[in-house]
């Protein structure tokens, strides 16, 4: 009996193709992208450095990376190569990294706006000491022949400029104090072979000390405070001298104009130190009695009674013209 076609079982075969790794492509592109960004950053950094450096700096960099090795017998290293050829086991290249003897080992480039560039453009303040030695050292460092006479001349000019500035500062300070402006005539400033001399001189009816005494009057202390403020900016040593007129001292029998002038000079020293002048600036304190009159033709003139504060010169020159002294 034949089978019924409608009852036949239909078999359907479905083939599934497996694709492994189709949903994920890996992270290799991230590495490539990072390399690209790094290369671009290095490229733009190179362009910036080329624009920020000078021609001499570029030449120095080029020489550093292009060393020239000169062949000499001493430069041949006896490295055994295991061969008995023409060089006999020697190498043309010396051991270690190649270096160019004419180029520096390292190169420092001061970029615009950097700390090194700003420091190199900033001048150090002048301290006002040993000008001739400093100028001579600068000439020696530059390789130029040192003309000692020219160095001394420049040092003297610089010192005189500082003296003139100190005088201007002192006179301006005196004018700025109204109750001391009347004592402007008591202040005499000039330049002598010793240096810048500042004298506080008695006038008729206007003394700096009481008669026969070393006790300083208040206005004298204020004047000396202005003097200390003007001269402490410099580094020159200071000599203090006391002077009297020729009238004999009428007090104690064992006390004369010599002791009086010395005591007044010491009182001046103490006043300058109290006003802020460093003690190491004081080079000498001397009493001259009546040996150096301000008005020689009038030995008893009150103007012969005075205190001298001298900023001693540090730049000397025997060939320079001597200043005329008023003593």
For residue 73, pLDDT beyond 70: no
Residue 146 DSSP symbol:
P
Encoded tokens for 51: 């624009």
Q: How far is CA 198 from the centre of its chain?
A: 29
pLDDT score at 274: 94
- Per residue in 137-184, pLDDT (tens digit) is 555 555 555 577 777 788 888 888 888 888 888 888 888 887 787 788
Window from 56-60, 137-141, 282-286 with minimum mean pLDDT: 137-141
* Lowest mean pLDDT across 8-12, 67-71, 110-114, 287-291: 110-114
Rounded CA-CA distance 238/231 in Å is 9
Distances (CA, A) of 241 to 1, 106, 190, 244: 159, 59, 15, 10
Between 179 and 19, the higher pLDDT residue: 179
Q: Tell me the mean pLDDT in the region 75-80.
A: 46
Mean pLDDT, all residues of the chain: 75
Local confidence band at 269 (pLDDT 50, 70, 90 cut-offs): very high
The DSSP 8-state label assigned to residue 323 in this structure reads P
CATH numbers and ranges of domains, the chain: 42-64+100-119 (no CATH), 151-312 (3.30.1330.60)
The helix, strand and coil proportions of the chain, stated in percent and rounded to the nearest 5, come to: 40, 10, 50
CA distance 45 to 144: 40
Q: What is the pTM of this model?
A: 0.53
- Spell out a b/e string for 21-45, using b for 16 or more CB atoms within 10 Å of the CB, else e: eeeeeeeeeeeeeeeeeeeeeeeee
Residue ranges in 14-68 assigned as alpha helix (H)? 28-52, 55-65
Decide: 248 and 211 in contact? Cβ < 8 Å: no
Q: Which residue has the higher pLDDT, 65 or 56?
A: 56
Q: Taking 70 as the threshold, does the pLDDT of residue 192 lie above it?
A: yes
> Residue 114 — pLDDT band, cuts 50, 70, 90?
very low
Lowest mean pLDDT across 92-106, 125-139, 197-211, 294-308: 92-106
**What percent of the chain is modeled with pLDDT above 90?**
31
């Amino acid at each position: 009996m034949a089978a019924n076609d409608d009852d036949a079982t239909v078999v359907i075969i479905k083939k599934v193709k497996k694709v492994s790794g189709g949903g994920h492509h890996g992270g290799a592109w991230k590495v490539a992208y990072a390399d690209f960004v790094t290369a671009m950053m290095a490229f733009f950094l190179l362009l910036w450095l080329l624009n920020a450096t000078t021609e001499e700096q570029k030449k120095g960099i080029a020489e550093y990376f292009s060393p020239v090795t000169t062949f000499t017998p001493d430069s041949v290293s006896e490295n055994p190569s295991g061969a008995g050829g023409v060089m006999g086991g020697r190498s043309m290249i010396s051991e270690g990294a190649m270096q160019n003897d004419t180029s520096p080992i390292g190169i420092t480039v001061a970029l615009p706006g950097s700390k090194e560039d700003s420091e190199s453009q900033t001048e150090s303040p002048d301290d006002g000491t040993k000008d001739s030695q400093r100028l001579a050292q600068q000439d020696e460092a530059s390789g130029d022949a040192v003309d000692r006479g020219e160095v001394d001349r420049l040092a003297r000019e610089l010192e005189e400029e500082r003296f003139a500035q100190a005088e201007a500062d002192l006179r301006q300070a005196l004018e700025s104090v109204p109750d001391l402006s009347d004592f402007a005539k008591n202040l005499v400033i000039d330049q002598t072979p010793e240096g810048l001399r500042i004298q506080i001189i008695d006038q008729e009816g206007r003394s700096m000390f009481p008669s026969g005494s070393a006790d300083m009057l208040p206005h004298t202390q204020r004047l000396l405070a202005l003097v200390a403020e003007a001269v402490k900016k410099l580094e020159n040593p200071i000599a203090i001298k006391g002077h009297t007129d020729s009238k004999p001292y009428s007090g104690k029998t064992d006390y004369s104009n010599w002791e009086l002038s010395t005591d007044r000079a010491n009182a001046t020293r103490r006043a300058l130190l109290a006003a802020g002048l460093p003690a190491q600036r004081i080079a000498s304190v001397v009493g001259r009695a009546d040996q150096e009159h301000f008005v020689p033709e009038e030995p008893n003139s009150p103007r012969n009674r005075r205190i001298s504060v001298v900023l001693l010169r540090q730049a000397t020159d025997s060939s320079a013209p001597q200043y005329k002294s008023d003593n």
